Amino acid sequence: MSEKTKILVVDDEEVVRLSHLRLLARDDCKVEAVWNGYDALREMEKDCFDLVLLDLRMPGMDGMSVLRMIKERWPESEVVVITGYPSVETAKEAIRLGAYDYLAKPVNPDEIIKVASGAITQKKWALHRDGVQQAMV
């Protein structure tokens, strides 16, 4: 995968968006941020992202609805749910819907980098595996 990894940050809190943007911006990553679910889906239409860091509670469309739509329309995209209102029920639902991980705010910078790296590695292995399986057919 020689092109840049594309990451989308979806959170209604500006300080969170800016923090994640600063933290994940590197030469090999393109990081964008939006403040709600509708904007997230609009951005996904324009440019399918490899990883989405997704808040659950936002104005308009909630994060679970966004997660459901992303996994239906862009199943190859990895999604990490990050919420300030964690619960066992929402964690189970997020994983059932296909989230790579579920984190409770506040999240320390090392944890964001670790989960983003893990999700991108997962995606690369899945694409590699699918390519190998296609070649065998």
3-class DSSP assignment, residue 82: strand
* DSSP H helices in 1-136: 14-24, 37-46, 63-73, 88-96, 109-136
Q: How confident is the model at residue 131 (pLDDT cuts 50, 70, 90)?
A: low
The answer on pLDDT for 126 being more than 80 is no
What pLDDT digit, counting tens, does each position of 23-57 carry? 999 888 999 999 999 999 999 999 999 999 999 99
* Residues 80/100, Cβ–Cβ less than 8 Å: yes
Q: pLDDT tens across 6-16, in order? A: 999 999 999 99
Answer whether 42's CB lies under 8 Å from 19's CB. no
Give the distance between the most distant pair of CA atoms in the chain.
48
Q: How many CA atoms lie within 13 A of 26 on its CB side?
A: 12
pLDDT band at 2 (very low <50, low <70, confident <90, very high): very low
pLDDT at 27: 84
Domains and CATH numbers, the chain: 5-136 (3.40.50.2300)
- pLDDT tens digits, one per residue of 81-112: 999 999 999 999 999 999 999 999 999 999 99
- Residues β-bridged to residue 107: none
Q: Over 70: is that where the pLDDT of 134 sits?
A: no
Q: What percent of the chain lies above the pLDDT cut of 90?
A: 83
- Mean per-residue pLDDT of the chain: 92
pLDDT value, residue 3: 79
> First CA to last CA across the chain, in angstroms?
22
Q: What is the pTM of this model?
A: 0.90
d(CA 128, CA 111): 26
Query: Cα–chain-centroid distance for residue 40?
Result: 10
What's the CA gap between 133 and 73, in Å, rounded? 22
